[in-house]
Structure 1
Amino acid sequence: MADSLLSRLRALPFEVRQYLLITGNYWAFTVTDGALRMLVVLHFHQLGYSPLEVALLFLFYEAFGVVTNLVGGWLGARLGLNRTMNLGLGLQIVALAMLMVPSSALTVAWVMAAQALSGIAKDLNKMSAKSAVKVLVPAGQGGSDSALYRWVALLTGSKNALKGAGFFLGGVLLTLIGFRGAVITMAVMLLAVLGLSLLRLKADLGRSTRKPKFTEMFSASRAINVLSAARLCLFAARDVWFVVALPVFLYDQHGWSHWTVGGLLAIWVMGYGGVQTQAPRLTRMVALGQRWTTVLWALVLAALTVVLALLPLAQVGWLVAGLLLFGVLFAINSSWHSYLIVHYARADGASLDVGFYYMANAMGRLLGTLLSGWLYQVQGLSACLWVAAALVLASALMALALPDRGNTAGVAAA
């Protein structure tokens, strides 16, 4: 049976085999990234850190992600995406190793430094995977735009489903084997993945045919700049309630256990990832141009967030149900944005445009993370939701400046 599976894999086109390898690499990294985030939030809150202090532990994670996406896209175009992807895996292993020290050595500065490396690693890995799709997508499969949208949606959706599994894994490992045992387990897993990636991933994947200048890290495309600004607001809107506020609220105000909090966030992200894989079918239901598709889905998400902000927080069942629906709408918005950036990116040196875009994405996460800790500490979860609604509305208004080429039917999955 194993021989038959290997034979089928070898018979696949080279591009598909490389895509599967990149996706598997991305999956493994994402599980550890999600687990590590949950481990840090719950473990350090349990140690007595305030919500704002927990948020500050992620300050360098998000801040270094901003720089990494900007510089990483340039490095990917010059060195090849295989090298930037493997570098990301290696740095994540180092970050995990830094957290293996005894609890007494886990100072705020040390954890922030480990999170900085993890942030660099995560964005190198993500930028490499997303840019590689632009290189590997086969032309002519149902139209290049249709194939590109399906491949991007599958990669993004599957990644987020596994990030959700990572949240749950983090809560379970913290309960069963403790913080140190959990990070050792994840480091060993990533070492095996890195070895396979070094052996099998094609050299010079996505390397530009010319040497791009350092100044080309900044996009000159109006469409990419507008989309990047809209993405910044979109992801700040998610993280302002998701990163610190919601887990701490459920743990403190409703007495949820570590694994229960991790389980809910896992379900949210896994469902979000599952919806992302179906986004091509969902956006096809309303055949609008690129601009109005982006605006419409953002406005629907903003309206739902206003409703959530009005809910009494004591009724946790309604709140959780509303946040699950938020995940569905956010997934559609996110997947559509992810398709647009790969669509807008230049063919030669795609990682430059993708890196710039995910730099804005990282800035949004940084803003949302800091606001999540500060707003929850001074005003509570309701304030976080009101700010989220305002940020999604800002994203919709920015999208009005996008070009209005084509319609969603032309890029939808068949």
Structure 2
Amino acid sequence: MVDHNQVVAPDPQAVRQYMLVTGNYWGFTLTDGALRMLVVLHFHQLGYSPLSIAMLFLFYEIFGVVTNLVGGWLGARIGLNRTMNIGLAMQVVALLMLTVPASLLSVPYVMAAQALSGIAKDLNKMSAKSSIKLLAGSGHQGSLYKWVALLTGSKNALKGAGFFLGGALLAWLGFRDALLAMAAALALVLVGSLLTLKKDLGKAKQKTRFSDIFSKSRAVNILSAARMFLFGARDVWFVVALPVFLSTQLNWTHTQVGGFLALWVIGYGAVQAFAPKVTGRTRDQVPDGRSAFGWAAVLAAIPLMIAMGIADPWSGLVKTLSLEGVIIGGLLLFGALFAINSSLHSFLIVSYAKEDGVSLDVGFYYMANAMGRLVGTVLSGWLFQEYGLAVCLLVSSLFLGVAAVISLWLPRHNGKPMPVTPKR
């Protein structure tokens, strides 16, 4: 009998394609992180408030919801290699759009460029995550978990590096030349992808209807709902509230804020890459619904504890810590646990997805992910402005509790190897 949890040597051709997909994803992610930091710093220099800057990314998140939903169907129709290359090309265009003279960089124009970048990012991410299912093989869940964790973890580490890159390029080259340099580098990645990536990767054997964009899998639907609340719980305090709090309440410089958040994202990505060693793979077992519930329940306690510390940093609970210590320590602990939750979810969706037309299920799932980011981003600005960071953290804890409860309905394999995913 085949042990589906065992890590076996994959096909060399699959490894080569995995490296190409990962390289494409890395190149895109660096420019995505750098672009976000460039926009934040540049428009801060122009006098925009933190909340106004956050709103520049509103279309980025909104179009992410639409792109993941439609992109999964598109990937099944035309192949994941094409959707990945379309994403790379659109990011090059988005970068070039922002190189126009400063007088033309109106808020609607920048929001349009960010919308294009958001579409590009989610096409690229959906294509990369879906490709892993096909390249690793659905029969070996241990290998699949390892490959997904490495891809996801390295992506987030590079996104943090992109924050550093954006700040460095802005200081070295200026806003316009930094964008031109990134567009040129990403164009080279696109050319390499067009020449080397396997044709028709992920293209469904059966004709896919547009109505297929809505997942018909109970496990995928439940996991998608949990994912929406998981990422809403992160962004409701991390996107707007935390950077503004560090700047206005703790008097951190913008360099300190950007550098600390970049290091946090890099550390978050490193933990994601090692998540399989934490969540069971070393015990010849891959995670299931029980794992998703347990890790989400533990995480829910962290923002609640930080909120208590912020409300009264000299209370008995944290009397030995300063307000700064509460924030930094809490954020580091939250990041480590959130990374494990995120990596576990990323494995489960690829495991649950049908092999033929895998991008349909993955696209639907990341649509829920984007919806969570959108809700979290909007709530982060509004709740912080009206009530402060502590309330943002309380809502984060509530969202994580909901994610944990939803996870109770996910499939469990009770220590047995997970079954091979059936074909669509």
**TM-score where L is the length of structure 2:** 0.89
* Aligned counterparts, 1:195-234, within 5 A: 195-234=191-230
AA at the equivalent of 1:52: L
Q: Structure 2 stretches of 5 or more lacking a match?
A: 1-10, 314-321, 420-424
Q: Does the 8 Å contact 2:220/2:365 carry over to 1?
A: yes
Instruction: Please give the per-residue CA displacement for 1:102-125, whole angstroms capped at 9, x wherever unaligned.
Output: 222211100110010000000000
Counterpart position of 1:306: 304
Q: Which moved more, 1:32-41 or 1:270-279?
A: 32-41
Counterpart position of 2:264: 268
Distance in 2 of aligned mates of 1:209 and 1:237: 38
Q: 1:376 to 1:170 in 2, by over 3 A?
A: farther
Q: Structure 1 stretches of 5 or more lacking a match?
A: 1-11
Matched, 1:295 2:303: no
Distance in 1 of aligned mates of 2:216 and 2:124: 24
Matched, 1:172 2:172: no
Counterpart position of 1:92: 91
How far apart are 1:244 and its partner, in Å? 1.8
How far apart are 1:211 and its partner, in Å? 1.4
Q: Does the 8 Å contact 1:51/1:374 carry over to 2?
A: no
AA at the equivalent of 2:324: V
1:210 counterpart SS class:
coil
Aligned-residue RMSD, C-alpha = 2.0
Counterpart position of 2:364: 356
Matched, 1:239 2:247: no
Distance in 2 of aligned mates of 1:182 and 1:320: 31
Q: 1:283 to 1:239 in 2, by over 3 A?
A: same
Instruction: Please give the per-residue CA displacement for 1:127-177, whole angstroms capped at 9, x wherever unaligned.
Output: 00000001100466xxx0111111111110111110111122222333333
| Regions of 4+ moved over 6 Å | 285-289, 408-411
Q: 1:352 to 1:339 in 2, by over 3 A?
A: same
Distance in 2 of aligned mates of 1:138 and 1:403: 20
Matched, 1:67 2:71: no
AA at the equivalent of 1:198: L
Instruction: Please give the per-residue CA displacement for 1:356-379, whole angstroms capped at 9, x wherever unaligned.
Output: 000000001111111122222222
Distance in 1 of aligned mates of 2:325 and 2:204: 51
Counterpart position of 2:6: none
Counterpart position of 2:112: 113
Q: Which moved more, 1:99-108 or 1:156-165?
A: 99-108
**TM-score where L is the length of structure 1:** 0.91
Distance in 1 of aligned mates of 2:416 and 2:88: 35
Distance in 2 of aligned mates of 1:390 and 1:266: 26
Counterpart position of 2:25: 26
Counterpart position of 1:252: 248
AA at the equivalent of 1:216: D
Instruction: State the identity %.
Output: 63
Counterpart position of 2:353: 345
Q: Which moved more, 1:234-243 or 1:329-338?
A: 234-243
Q: Does the 8 Å contact 1:51/1:376 carry over to 2?
A: no
Distance in 2 of aligned mates of 1:55 and 1:199: 37
Distance in 1 of aligned mates of 2:42 and 2:383: 21
Q: Which moved more, 1:394-403 or 1:164-173?
A: 164-173
The structure with more helix, counted as a fraction of residues:
1
Distance in 2 of aligned mates of 1:122 and 1:350: 18
Counterpart position of 2:376: 368
Distance in 1 of aligned mates of 2:145 and 2:367: 21
Q: Does the 8 Å contact 2:287/2:344 carry over to 1?
A: no
* Aligned counterparts, 1:132-151, within 5 A: 132-138=131-137, 144-151=140-147
AA at the equivalent of 1:246: L
Distance in 1 of aligned mates of 2:177 and 2:416: 47
2:307 counterpart SS class:
helix
AA at the equivalent of 1:218: F
